[in-house]
Amino acid sequence: MKKVITYGTFDLLHYGHVNLLQRAKELGDYLIVALSTDEFNLNMKNKVCYFDYEKRKRLLEAIRYVDLVIPEESWEQKISDVKEFKVDTFVIGDDWEGKFDFLKEYCEVVYLSRTPEISTTQIKEDLAEADNEGGKNE
């Protein structure tokens, strides 16, 4: 069985996330998603999520491509996760290109292109703009 792992926050889950998860699953038989905890997002990524960890986890578990969701609690845990779960392939968006090449010593590393027209940041910006315009989203 070929195991694949990916990492992320997956807040305001959208079709770009689903595209990434589907393409990650196509690289193997079993997809593990390491989901950033609320504490990790706040303390290490300076992000506040709209949905808390348990809600984001539940959403990911409902996606047919995802086999297991584990907590991401630190930047450093990737090597131990790869070893513990006997991961064959590490997958992440290409905006991280080169940042995880150190994992090539332990598994294959694949950077997937993102769905260009969608991002959580863009959704948040669009919603804020619509709110500033009195609810109009033009």
Residue positions annotated with a catalytic role: 45, 47
- Enumerate the H helices of 1-138 as residue ranges: 15-25, 38-44, 53-61, 78-84, 120-132
34, 72 in Cβ contact below 8 A?
yes
66, 60 in Cβ contact below 8 A?
yes
The rounded Cα 10 to chain-centroid distance in angstroms is: 5
3-state secondary structure of 34: strand
